């Protein structure tokens, strides 16, 4: 009987690890998309846009949650043109896009 419990525990651990990996990929994709969007809004060249998107991705490792990413983008975008609400709304929209993209890639 203990064998079935061990199998079940291993199954839950495997699912948790898979779910955590998927969440990480989705958030990284969202941050990349956010960085590319912000770079476009700032008029950066394609090369600089890619570099900026990587900086946005890296900013997510400063602290748990989204505030570090928000602060990065908020600090770089024109405050008169982009409200905090608009940036946060864009983050939510891009999270949905990123989730769809990553899940579609997994299905392939």
Domain segments of the chain as ranges: 25-107
pLDDT in tens, 21-33: 999 999 999 999 9
Residue-level pLDDT at 2 = 65
pLDDT at residue 76 tops 80: yes
Residue-level pLDDT at 58 = 96
The DSSP H or E segment spanning 81 is none
pLDDT in tens, 26-57: 999 999 999 999 999 999 999 999 999 999 99
Supply the mean pLDDT for the chain: 91
DSSP calls for 14-74: HHHHHHHHHHHHHHHHHHHHHHHHHHHHHT--HHHHHHHHHHHHHHTTSSSSSHHHHHHHH
């Amino acid at each position: 009987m203990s064998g079935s419990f061990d199998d079940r525990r291993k199954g839950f651990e495997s699912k948790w690890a898979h779910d955590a990996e998927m969440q990480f990929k989705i958030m990284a994709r969202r941050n990349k998309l956010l960085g590319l969007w912000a770079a476009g809004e700032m008029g950066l060249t394609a090369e600089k846009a890619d570099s900026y998107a990587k900086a946005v991705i890296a900013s997510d490792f400063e602290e748990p949650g989204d505030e570090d990413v928000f602060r990065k983008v908020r600090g770089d975008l024109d405050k008169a043109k982009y409200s905090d609400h608009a940036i946060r709304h864009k983050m939510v929209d891009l999270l949905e896009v990123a989730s769809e993209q990553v899940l579609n890639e997994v299905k392939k």
